[in-house]
Structure 1
Amino acid sequence: MPEPASPNYPNENNDVLAHLDPATFDWPTFLASYTGRALIIRLLHVVNFTLSSPSPSPSSVALAQTALRRLVPLIKQTFDHNAYLYVMNALATINSRTQQSIEDDSVSGSSSRRGGELDGVPDWDWVEEVKREERKQKGQLEVELQGYMSTLIRESIRLSHIALARLASKRGDALSAVNHFIDGREYATGPMQHLEHALGSLEICLIFNQPLSLPGHISKLEATLDRALPASVTRTIEAAHTTALDIRETREREQRNATLRQSVSLKLRIARTLVALDNQDYHFAGRQCCDIIDDDGLGEYEGHAISSSDVSLIGALCILATGRREEMRTKVLDNMAFRATVDDGSAWVIDLVTAFVDARYADVEVLMKKNEWMILLNPFLCPHSKKIQGLVRTKALVQYTEPFSSVSVHMMSQALGVKPELLLEDLEKLVEEGRINGKIDLIDGVLQMKQPDPGHELRMNAIKLGTATNEATRYAILRLKLQEAGITVDPRPPARSAGPTDSSDPSGPPFYTDVPPEYIEPVPLAISPGFVKRAKGKLPS
């Protein structure tokens, strides 16, 4: 089945970042509350996207250079020397192309000067020191692990795998980190330890933004969570010797378990959201984001893998692309909790949803073009930017044509804020796919809607009903005549045999006698010709 048409009206300038001013770019709002590896991943996405164009604009290059300079002090807090050398190489390439350096006063905490790290000259002393420290820690942990393996101390083996996973994550090796969590799980001795390893694997995939690896870890964590932290706790009757201290400790333990289960459930919902987004199940992803916001938001997990601002942006765009108007109102516009999570940088998304609900489609197009850069610089939404915007524009196009019996293409282009030639191409696709029930008059430039004929539909339904009633009546009359004649029709099919059928055989086809000829009437019903022939042969003359 062909994929539905998804209009994508290109911007006038192919580089959507050309209009951005790197000197006034609001980096604190863009980076939100991200910390640690998630912040590094976000800045690396900015670099990769801005430099992916064959001929990036000066604004894009300057924005990438600023992001690279912000990455330097962040990466030096880890052991990820490969990412550090990548950043240095990118900075050196930019400097060799532009032959100038753009000063960034917002970068603090670095003593590098022109010609130093911020201009692409690596700090080789730091690289060698990090490599030595990494080899030292890894070697020490591997030696300890081998010793524990020889003595089969399960808990020490498990903890050694966890330490190696943390070290691999600090080095930027997500695959090794996940593998160590999986290997350590084999030596877990209880549900809580299994939960720790399953949660560790899931968090690594979330932090490094690897949605393809999430489904398997989600199912393992769900199964482990129900065993370690059941949703409902059945209270047992306290024995007579149970003290008040025991009861208080039990209730505190249950409260801690409930809090831990809530935290794990939040991470599971985030993972399901990212998986749905990666699978282009935008309706489910949008509803999940809105439900996360309604249930007290991200809490302490804010910025570790995703921020509340990104959750609200994903939720609003996905609901806008796939939801109905009533759902847009209840989930986004009338939801005070949702509005509270939208920061100043994403406030435009509320205006976007409001414009769509009010059928101001030209404003929708203007807002999407103006803020397309924010979708593209978001590591979660960037791969789906074209698809989501196409779905929104398709909905606007279809909903605009619904009230009309005919509408001018030129008038539609003005109402939707789209060039007539681009609009005409997408109208042709939607008409071919049946999304719009109409035809296009290319000479006059008019879309003529095909109105259904209610009279014809009523007549066809009446004919069908009359035919069915007539056949049912004839069946009933024949059945009544057969009952009056004392004839019982055997519903079983006639038995197939190689020789002639013995009339004394009860399993064979029935033979009827003494049937008046007026009851033998050829009626085109579900009666076999053999039955009628046999009945006529046995009738008295």
Structure 2
Amino acid sequence: MASSLLAFFTVMDNQDGIIVRDPPKFDLDLYIQNYKGRTRFDRLFLIGRSSVPLCVDALKASIAEAKRGRDTQRYREAVECLRIAAPSDQDATFDQTWLETQEKANKAETNRLLTELKGYKNNLIKESIRMGHEDLGKHLESIGDLNAAAEAYSKMRPDVSTPKQFLDVGKHLVRVSIQRREWGMVSAHLSKMGGAQHAEEEKAVQPYLKIAQGIALLGQEKYKEAAQSFLLADSAVSASSYSELASQSDVASYGGLLALASMGRDELQHNVLDNAQFRTFLEQAPHIRRAVAQFVSGRYSACIAILESYRPDYLLDIYLQKHIATIYSQIRSKCIVQYLIPFSCVSMDTMNKAFGGPGQSIEDELADMIQSGALEARINTIDNLVTTKAANPRAQMQESALRVTENYERQALDRLRRMGLAAAELELKGGKKTGVGFAGDLLVDESLG
């Protein structure tokens, strides 16, 4: 088994896959129960391809999930991976009978739905045509033909007649676009849905829109905009309305991590910790709340320690995996910069103790931050100190004096203008409106000719 796993992860490593050797904190069975739809297979298959401790269990679960559906290509991929990772496992052999039966059933169902749709079009019944396209789209999506499914869903639009139907079309297209990782198309479909909302539908669909938009922005590496979208999701709506995208714990993790990477301390306090709407999500991921609270309180090493302990979990998330290195790097850089703000110099030993691991030095990391402009400081290797850029009190005083002078001059000119208007009797006074009118922004007395 060990040699088979080694061979499997060697293949994954050669394919530039991310290998996670530490066990995550979640239980696989409880974790996957939070989701419905095709995302269940996607998440199980990613864990199977990435997690050394959970590899076999996740691949076996992904095979079982594939056999509960209709997508034979997914089944082939999962079995092929398990065949390399655990060749002696009974699930590592292709169930040829199931494959042939399912492929025949898929083909027959496709032909049946196409025939029904053709009949609906001949009868010119709009509602039947809409439902025919929807049934065909759902079937094509279930067998993995996402391009054809998106086309079928798009053809529903001319025949929709209610706000709910319009939103359903948008959700279908958003779901397919997310599976295809077409983030620009996700945003385009969401903008159409948002523009067509009605009061009775708005509350039910709001969290779906915000979470889908956050996922799309995350995929485009727009971290602050993504954080703001997740933080605006309404936690009062049932999680089942968006469980095909993410769980409540996921929303807390996405929103909290991206906020830590892109927002300042005041923004974190207001948008995350004091956000009553987001608090329900944070209750599902209390470690995220602790990490944000530690950052806001200035306990930066504690914040980083919490996040590092959950790194394996985030590396096994289908949306976060590719971004974790960047997100953690940004959070870490922010912590170092904030840590140094109150001091003119700090010993390297203190910095290593706060941000380095056992026996590790962060000197190279600090040098990279200084070189990139992220940190204004100098490293004194002789005295083993990190010296921050000293403020220039003289320049600050001069700048403050200039601002005060400019403000005083602006106020003086405003007062002189008012005095001139009063002296020329051009003021607009109550009860004396006759003969006075406006010309642009100036008061004009018509009696003056």
TM-score (norm 2): 0.77
- Quickly say closer, same or farther: Cα 1:331–1:458, change in 2 above 3 A: closer
Choose which of 83, 87, 90 in structure 1 pairs with 2:81.
90
Match of 1:319 in 2: 259
1:303 aligns with 2:243: yes
Shift of 1:20: 2.0
SS of the aligned residue for 1:435 comes to: coil
Deviations 1:357-408 (A, max 9, x none): 3323332333232211011111121121011101110111101111111112
Q: Deviations over 1:66-109 (max 9, x none)?
A: 1111122222221111111111111111124xxx55xxxxxxxx
Aligned AA (1:68): L
Match of 1:267 in 2: 208
State the AA in 1 paired with 2:287.
Answer: W
Deviation at 1:422, TM superposition (A): 5.3
More helix by share: 2
Counterpart check, 1:276 vs 2:217: yes
Q: State, as a whole percentage, how many aligned pairs show the same letter.
A: 24
Structure 2 spans left out of the alignment, 5+ residues: 1-16, 409-449
The 1:371/1:192 distance shift into structure 2, 3 A limit, reads closer
1:441 aligns with 2:363: no
**What does residue 44 of structure 1 align with?**
45
* Equivalent residue in structure 2 for 1:383, among 309, 322, 344: 322
Deviation at 1:354, TM superposition (A): 2.9
Residues 448, 169 of structure 1: alpha-carbon distance in 2 compared, 3 angstrom cutoff: same
Partners of 1:460 and 1:307 lie apart in 2 by: 50
Do the aligned partners of 2:212 and 2:245 also contact (CA within 8 Å) in 1? no
- 1:197 corresponds in structure 2 to 169
The structure that has the greater radius of gyration is 1
Tell me the distance in 1 between the aligned counterparts of 2:251 and 2:39.
15
* Kept in 2: contact 1:297–1:308 (CA 8 A): no
1:43 alignment partner AA: L
**RMSD (CA atoms):** 3.2
CA separation of 1:343 and 1:75: change in aligned 2, threshold 3 A: farther
User: Deviations along 1:5-43, whole A, 9 cap, x unmatched?
Assistant: xxxxxxxxx98732328xx96123432511232211211
Distance of 1:139 and 1:207 partners within structure 2: 24
Cα distance between partner residues in 1 of 2:404 and 2:272: 46
* 1:174 counterpart (143, 146, 154): 146
2:233 aligned counterpart, secondary structure: helix
* 1:219 and 2:222 matched: no
> Partners of 1:188 and 1:307 in 2: how far apart?
30
Q: Deviations over 1:113-163 (max 9, x none)?
A: xx3xx2x11211111111111111111121233344455444433322111
Matched, 1:18 2:9: no
State the shift of 1:465 in Å: 10
The answer to whether the 8 Å contact 1:409/1:420 transfers is no
CA-to-partner distance for each residue in 1:487-507, whole Å, 9 max, x for gaps? xxxxxxxxxxxxxxxxxxxxx
Distance in 1 of aligned mates of 2:182 and 2:262: 24
Instruction: Verify the 8 A CA contact 1:33 1:302 in the aligned structure 2.
Output: no
Task: Provide the residue aligned with 1:354 in structure 2.
Answer: 293
Query: SS of 1:440's equivalent?
Result: strand
Distance of 2:268 and 2:148 partners within structure 1? 42
- Correspondence for 1:416 among 346, 355, 361: 355
For 2:251, the aligned partner's letter is V
What is the DSSP-based 3-state SS (H/G/I as helix, E as strand, rest coil) of the residue aligned with 2:318? coil
1:398-409, aligned counterparts within 5 Å?
398-409=337-348
Determine helix, strand or coil for the equivalent of 1:36.
Answer: coil
Structure 2 CA distance for partners of 1:465 and 1:348, relative to 1, 3 Å: closer
Q: CA–CA distance in 2 between the matches of 1:159 and 1:63?
A: 41
Question: Which one-letter code corresponds to 1:123 in the other structure?
Answer: D
Provide closer, same or farther for how the CA distance between residues 321 and 456 of structure 1 changes in structure 2, counting only shifts above 3 A: closer
Larger RCO, structures 1/2 (Cα 8 Å, 6+ apart): 1
C-alpha change, 1:387 and 1:464, in structure 2 (3 Å) is closer
- Assess if the C-alpha contact under 8 Å between 2:233 and 2:278 holds in 1: no
- 1:262 and 1:297 map into 2 onto residues whose CA distance is 8
Q: Aligned partners of 2:244 and 2:280: how far apart in 1?
A: 20
* SS of corresponding position for 2:156: helix
